[in-house]
Amino acid sequence: MTERSLLAPALLAALLVAPTTVAQDVPAPARLEVFVAPDAPPGGDGSREHPLASIEVARDRLRAREVAADAPSPAIVLLDGTFAVERGLVFDARDDGLSLIADDGSRPRLVGGRVFVAPRLRPLDDARLLARLPSDAARAAVRVLELPADLVPAGPVRRGMGSPVVPVGSEVFVDGVALRRARWPDDGFARVGEVLDRGSVPRDREDDVPEARRETGPERGGTFRPADVDARRLARWASAEDAWALGFWCWDWADEQLPIAAIDVAAGTIALGAPHRYGLKAGTTFYVTNLLEELDRPGEFFFDVAGGRLLLWPPATQPRELVVSTLDEPLLRLDGSHGFTLEGLSFEDTRGPAVVGDDCDGVRITRCTITNTGTDGIRLRGRDDVVGDCTLRGIGATGVSLDGGDRATLTHADDRLERTSIHDFGRLYRTYQPAVRLAGVGQVVIGNEFAHAPHSAILFAGNEHVIAGNEIFDVLRETGDSGAIYCGRDWTLHGTRIEGNFIHHLGGSDGRWQNAIYLDDMASGIEVARNVVWRCHWGMLVGGGRDLDIHDNLFVACALGIRFDARGIGWMAEKIADPATSTLHRNLAAVPIASEPWASRYPSLGRYLDDRFGRPVGSRVVGNRFVATPFGSVDDPECVQVDANVETSELPAWADDGLYFDAGPRLGERRRVPAPNEVPIAVLDGRG
């Protein structure tokens, strides 16, 4: 931390514009630091002793000052406390070089909601609402918080695959823990029984669908009969005014939350108020939510919007703090800001994302904590941006998104994510919302930890990324046909390296195809090397791509090592035959493969359409080791080199599932995984 200045901002500004002809031994001026405290009284001058009460006021004062060209970049220093952010903080090019940082030893919190300290909770005494609760236990335990007149909580929103990522409805957080809208079943999912009307299928209205089977006409939601709901429960739901259902309605990799339009108790059916992207299918899974009739356990809540009340079954007798999330924009936005630093801050409890940066270069986000967002944690689009030594937990959608560089010229963004822990992501948006999303060219993801999520940990598109030295575990909890590291349906994904990652403890079944690494639907030009895959369902599923280099990986105690298919001449052949409707052709045409530097760096792309079209030409599976794991299969060995792979049946001692190690203070838990020095990376180099 830099030297603290005790001078008021006005005096410092005067000094900064004074003549600068000084002797060489005169020290450079100290960095201007403006202090802000959330409970500061009016009239502060921005010094530590008399801080300002508003981050926006501090920002505007810094913008208004006159500075010398060689003056050091200023900082806004936040003192301890909770900053309730009613409107998102915005910084732009006028704030280039600015730092927004925590004071030494402080933990400033930026909260996107209304904060109630030691909230006054009282028993529910409204007979009408008491009658709707499901049990005497609930009627005794549920408590009420009267909401201020100006606090109108936002209701549930349509969300999931096929819908845009938008701020979610207002949530409730008690002592940092997210409560859950009252729902059924309390855990897991119920089953869709008979489907009476699958509804319209928005996916079949898109341009890449052949015109002969393209859907037209008005959209309509589907109707189904739930398999596990008795008539009494359904009758209780029928009078609810704003009930919703979230389901994997057709495929277990495509969730969507949809409104319930009607419940027919006599017929035993539920009609949805909007169509699912792929229509409804029997045997899939769902749950219903936003039902006071299902407020039946600690940690659940329901907003009585008409009465201006929050009803909750509190997880503790008297919460220290309760937050109702309200903010529907980023807690902090960087618009064209260069050289901006965020350090030591906590972003919490909001309906939307925490930090969003567009057209931003040289951004540094370090030692920050982000918890309980409604959508994303951090989204950065620019170059030379770094997120490091951060912790993200309870992220509603994607943890960190990095986008930048220029694909036409293969110019690297050189953005980095490093030494960061991202857990419990995809909390609300359940699919295709990973810990990390990469796009553009030349992103680096190294030395991080990603865990506990319903779907993938890393999704990437673009070129020449480095994904190395990361630990991934306990993801893909709810979804199938998926990968902890995933990309797909693009021939042009050349130059990315997936190297030296440790991926372990991914469950799965033959019907769901959970994979440690999944190169889907002809993804091509990727190197997968020296990774350790331990106790995963499948190690890799490779969907027929070209120019893939899979070498020197270690697969231990997996149901299958590698499945390398030839779908381009199999089930997918029809889908890629017509350039007018093929996503692969569209993506190939989107980059200048015949121009430099593409023509020299990736010359084989120019042959994809005429050299053994659809086959996995130029790929290899070489030097991999399979311990207590069957190798698997390669469907087209004429096009894929398969050599020097070794299978052994005996598990080494370090692979014993009973081995524990202390994960250390960064995680604060003990896990059943080997210590880093016990993972035999040397095996991959032939030394062990």
Percent of the chain at pLDDT above 90?
Answer: 83
pLDDT at 659 over 90: no
Compute the average pLDDT of residues 333-361: 97
Confidence of residue 72 (pLDDT cuts 50, 70, 90): confident
Angstrom distance (rounded) from CA 666 to CA 659: 20
Nearby residues of 327 by Cβ (< 8 Å), 6 or more positions away: 85, 86, 87, 88, 112, 113, 167, 350, 351, 352
> Cis omega (within 30 of 0) on the bond before 134?
no
- Cβ neighbours around 70 below 10 Å, total: 9
User: What pLDDT score does 686 carry?
Assistant: 30
pLDDT at 280 over 90: yes
Calpha distance 12→10 (Å, rounded) = 5
- Please write the tens of the pLDDT for every residue from 25-69: 556 567 899 999 999 999 999 999 999 999 999 999 999 987 666
Confidence of residue 673 (pLDDT cuts 50, 70, 90): very low
Average confidence (pLDDT) over 539-567? 97
3-state secondary structure 244-303: EEEEECCCCCCCEEEEEEEEECCCCEEEECCCCCCCCCCCCEEEEECCHHHCCCCCEEEE
562: phi then psi, degrees, rounded to nearest 5 = -135, 130
* Average pLDDT over every residue of 618-629: 96
DSSP string, 97-150: T-EEEEPTT--EEEESEEEEES---EE---HHHHHHSS-HHHHHH-EEEEPPTT
Average pLDDT over residues 476-480: 92
Beta bridge partners of 338: 361
Query: Per-residue pLDDT for 508 more than 90?
Result: no
Question: 10 Å Cβ neighbour count for 176?
Answer: 15
pLDDT value, residue 28? 59
Lowest mean pLDDT among 214-218, 359-363, 391-395: 214-218
Looking at residue 30, its pLDDT comes to: 75
111-140 pLDDT, tens digit per residue, is: 999 999 999 999 999 999 999 999 999 999
> Average pLDDT of 482-494?
97
- Rounded average pLDDT over 646-659: 70
| Residue 402: per-residue pLDDT | 98
Residue 361 has pLDDT above 70, yes or no: yes
Residues 6 or more apart from 270 whose CB is under 8 A from it? 223, 224, 225, 226, 234, 245, 260, 262, 263, 288
Of the candidates 562, 529, 545, which has an alpha carbon nearest to the alpha carbon of residue 493? 545
Q: How many C-beta atoms surround the C-beta of residue 148 within 10 A? A: 10
100-104, 283-287, 670-674: the lowest-pLDDT one? 670-674
DSSP state letter for 74 = P
Averaged pLDDT, 228-243:
93
Q: Kind and range of the H or E element at 599? A: helix 598-601
What pLDDT is recorded for position 672? 42
Q: Distance (Å, rounded) from C-alpha 433 to C-alpha 449?
A: 16
Q: Which helix (H) or strand (E) holds 626?
A: strand 625-627
Q: Which pLDDT does position 512 carry in this prediction?
A: 80
Q: Would the pLDDT of 24 be above 60?
A: no
What pLDDT is recorded for position 605?
98
pLDDT 10s digits, 161-209: 878 999 999 999 999 999 999 999 999 999 999 999 999 999 998 888 8
The pLDDT, as a whole number, for residue 327 is: 98
Find the farthest-apart pair of alpha carbons in the chain and give their distance in angstroms, rounded.
92
DSSP annotation of 594 reads T
Q: In this structure, what DSSP letter does residue 338 have?
A: B
Say if residue 43 is exposed, middle or buried (CB neighbours under 10 Å; 0-12, 13-18, 19+).
exposed
Inform me whether the pLDDT recorded for 12 exceeds 70: no
Q: What would the mean pLDDT of 348-365 be, rounded to a whole number? A: 98
pLDDT at 670 over 60: no
Mean pLDDT over 404-412 rounds to 98
Residue 674 has pLDDT above 60, yes or no: no
324 has a pLDDT exceeding 90: yes
Does position 574 have pLDDT exceeding 70, yes or no? yes
Residue type, 647: E
Average pLDDT score over residue span 97-122: 97
Q: Regarding predicted confidence, which is higher, 623 or 509?
A: 623
Instruction: Give CA separation, 532 vs 26, 185, 314, 684, in Å.
Output: 56, 37, 43, 9
- The reported pLDDT for the residue numbered 11 is 30
Centre a 10 Å sphere on the Cβ of residue 643 and count the other Cβ atoms it contains. Answer: 10
pLDDT score, position 655: 62
pLDDT at 328: 98
Instruction: Name the average pLDDT for the chain.
Output: 90
**Integer Cα distance of 568 and 152 in angstroms:** 53
Sketch the domain layout of the chain as residue ranges: 1-79, 115-182+295-323, 184-289
pLDDT value of residue 161? 86
DSSP secondary structure string, 17-59?
TS-----TTSPPPPPPEEEE-TTPPTT--SSSSS-BS-HHHHH
Q: In what order do the strands lie in the sheet with 332-335?
A: 89-92, 332-335, 355-361, 378-383, 400-404, 436-440, 458-460, 482-488, 514-520, 538-542, 560-564, 632-634
pLDDT (0 to 100) of residue 318: 83
Of 249, 300, 297, give the one whose Cα is nearest residue 276.
249
DSSP code of 95? G
Q: Which amino acid is at 259?
A: P
